[in-house]
Amino acid sequence: DVMIAGKVAVICGYGDVGKGCAAAMKTAGARVIVTEIDPICALQALMEGLQVLTLEDVVSEADIFVTTTGNKDIIMVDHM
């Protein structure tokens, strides 16, 4: 078991699944950051009070990564 409270969680993608994951992480006490390439979805995350940044900007401070895009290779070795 891992305590999520106090951790930084990055949610890659803010569609239906990303929204659910972000809500769950926030409820568990994590600081949630969203990465999103669609400007409409990014705006939705901002309007819900979440921070929206690029993966490159948050990779060094994140503790938990959740990819919800359905695409492969969202997080690559180059990002680390």
Express each pLDDT in 45-66 by its tens digit: 999 999 999 999 999 999 999 9
Q: Are 53 and 33 in contact (CB under 8 A)?
A: yes
Contact 25, 66 (CB under 8 A): yes
Angle at 33 between CA 25 and CA 60, to 5 degrees: 110
CATH 3.40.50.720 fits 8-79, yes or no: yes
Cα separation of the two ends of the chain? 25
Q: Is the pLDDT of residue 79 over 70?
A: no
Q: What is the pLDDT of residues 5-55, one digit of tens each?
A: 999 999 999 999 999 999 999 999 999 999 999 999 999 999 999 999 999
Q: Kindly report the number of other CB atoms within 10 A of residue 7's CB atom.
A: 16
